A = this chain, B = another copy of it.
């Protein structure tokens, strides 16, 4: 097995993925996508940025849309358990020689930015403004009825290295794809919060953000979204799906926002809190790996992703090819 034993006592305690800031070129168009169509709730907005949360979230934001000239992803945000964890995290990254910048983030308490070894920008914090629950205000539900942010998926130029690093800080591998020939990892799914993943890695030119995923109630909500997108001018923004993933067993749909940032709609994976949960291995050549029902992903899905601000990606070291739709 090419994956490391889980680190059950990591140097600091990450609760879950939390939020990401996306640079978008047309705030109004992005608002139409994320708010009017997808159904996220605006928690703050001005001429430069829109803060959004999903229906069961009480933290202030899971997506920040910020106006800019080039579409970019900024830091992947993670919530830590405790103030001590924030200090321990700082020490950890400094000890690795990775940059630590304490930043002032609206609606958050003490936060710092850093990078993983491939240059992926990360942000850690403990407290974010808490908002009143709205999960039982059913009149507010719209679009796909997004409940919460579920995970990030990143292109990594070396998935073995990514897994080694994130494993060290406590992310536990739930499923992974191996290239049988080389014995290298082609993709991996790793979690903190007890689902299949908070963070996944896909072999490819990276670091780049492959997608950000939202959890929705049932597959029928995804069908409703497809019907809505298809009849409100968003049909070309549907990229892949719907389908059942082999990996994670989740029901999925991939769509692209007006700047090409990829959003996954996702539901129905499984609980992973057991520390002795055995990772599930998939072969890269297994056609049911991507989609249990056998449909391959399109070329764009393997090639396109959001650049991280201020980080040039490098080509993947592993050249193994997945199955791509003709």
Residues of A within 8 A of B (CB): 8, 15-16, 56, 58-59, 79, 81-82, 127, 130, 133, 135-139, 147-148, 193-194, 217-220, 223-224, 226-232, 235-236, 238, 242, 244, 246, 249, 251, 268, 270-271, 273-278, 280, 287-288, 292-294, 326
Contact = CB atoms under 8 A, between A and B. Distances in A.
Given A136-B292, A139-B231, A81 B271 contact: no
Given A230-B244, A249-B135, A15 B275 contact: yes
Contact of A228 (B81, B82, B139): B139
B135 A270 contact: yes
Nearest to A246: B136
A8 B82 contact: yes
B219 A244 contact: no
Contact of A294 (B56, B138, B238, B273): B238
A18 to B, nearest CB: 9
Contact of A147 (B79, B270, B277): B270
Nearest to A192: B273
B278 A130 contact: yes
A44 B127 CA distance: 47
Contact of A326 (B59, B82, B244, B326): B326
A235 B58 contact: no
A138 B232 contact: yes
A151 B168 CA distance: 32
Contact of A81 (B8, B82, B147, B288): B8
- Identify the 3 closest CB pairs spanning chains A and B, nearest first: A56-B270, A138-B227, A218-B218
A293 B232 contact: no
Contacts of A193: 194, 271, 273
Given A56-B271, A58-B274, A219-B220, A292 B230 contact: yes
Contacts of A246: 136
Given A194-B193, A235-B293, A227 B244 contact: yes
A280 B235 contact: no
Nearest to A55: B270
A215 to B, nearest CB: 8
13 contacts: A15-B274, A15-B275, A56-B271, A127-B276, A130-B276, A135-B249, A136-B246, A138-B224, A148-B271, A218-B220, A223-B251, A230-B293, A236-B294
Contacts of A135: 249, 270
Given A147-B270, A231-B292, 6 more contacts: A15-B273, A136-B246, A136-B249, A139-B232, A148-B270, A226-B292
Contacts of A235: 287-288, 293-294
Contact of A220 (B16, B220, B232): B220
A137 B194 CA distance: 22
A88 to B, nearest CB: 14
A275 B194 contact: no
